[in-house]
Chains A and B, each alone.
Chain A
Amino acid sequence: EAGVTQFPSHSVIEKGQTVTLRCDPISGHDNLYWYRRVMGKEIKFLLHFVKESKQDESGMPNNRFLAERTGGTYSTLKVQPAELEDSGVYFCASSQDLYRQKGYTFGSGTRLTVV
């Protein structure tokens, strides 16, 4: 089966611009998660979708971040306007079962650099 795909793999934008990251989960995986690692820090949870609904968005840092998952398939994470501290690697993961008995499958991430 195809894995979790993230696009783009790298993005360099100027402060104040908008960037949209995309994640295509494994087909049939209802659960989709976004994480990020900012400079030198831990990988932290951002939010969790179950199908098209936001199950938990408590990790979203502020209202400059907007995540959507229309139709319950792929998801987008928009940062608007981007700030320097948003630089980091953004990971997406998906799982078939809510109870994560089989672990999550992660994408390779999008490296975002805000200059």
Chain B
Amino acid sequence: DAKTTQPPSMDCAEGRAANLPCNHSTISGNEYVYWYRQIHSQGPQYIIHGLKNNETNEMASLIITEDRKSSTLILPHATLRDTAVYYCIVSPPYTNAGKSTFGDGTTLTVKP
């Protein structure tokens, strides 16, 4: 699996957009970008995933650069409950997808 690089921490004001970057310069053509988050003492929570097109769901938007070497997770209106560790993972969508390592992630702190 391709490795990812994320900033260790970020702050965001409540109500503002939170933009979390992820570098995955060694991503392969068949690898997807997945985002999870872990709120203190809970298990990781799936947020969104994509291959090369931008994606949006009820939780967030995922912007993937054209060369697929980086992506940005956007939480459009961050709330205090969005404070968590956010993990960016790249993985093929088939057998062995679960072997991905979560890395250190980005600790997002949403402030009032």
Interface residues of A (CB under 8 A from B): 4, 6, 31, 33, 35, 42-45, 48, 55-56, 58-59, 91-93, 98-109
Is A56 touching B93 in the complex (CB atoms < 8 A)?
no
Q: Mark B10-32, 1 if CB is under 8 A from A, else 0.
A: 00000000000000000000000
* A-B CB pair tally, cutoff 8 Å: 69
A64 vs B46: C-alpha distance when bound (angstroms): 30
- Smallest CB–CB gap between A27 and chain B, Å? 18
Neighbouring B residues of A99 by C-beta, 8 Å: 93-94, 97
The 3 A-B residue pairs with the shortest CB-CB distance, nearest first, are A103-B46, A106-B43, A43-B102
* B residues less than 8 Å from A102 (CB atoms): 46
Name B's interface SS. Answer: loop
Range for the number of chain B residues in contact with chain A:
20 to 34
Among B95, B97, B103, which residue has the most Cβ atoms of chain A within 10 A? B97
Q: How far is the CB of B35 from chain A (nearest CB, A)?
A: 9
Beyond the given A48-B96, A91-B43, A103-B36, please list 5 additional residue pairs across the A-B interface where CB-CB is below 8 A. A42-B104, A93-B98, A100-B93, A103-B47, A104-B44
A58 touches B101 (CB 8 A): no
Q: Are A59 and B94 in contact (CB under 8 A)?
A: no
Q: Which residue of B lies closest to A59 (CB)?
A: B99
- Contacts A43-B44, A98-B94, A109-B43: A56 and B103 contacting too (C-beta < 8 A)? no
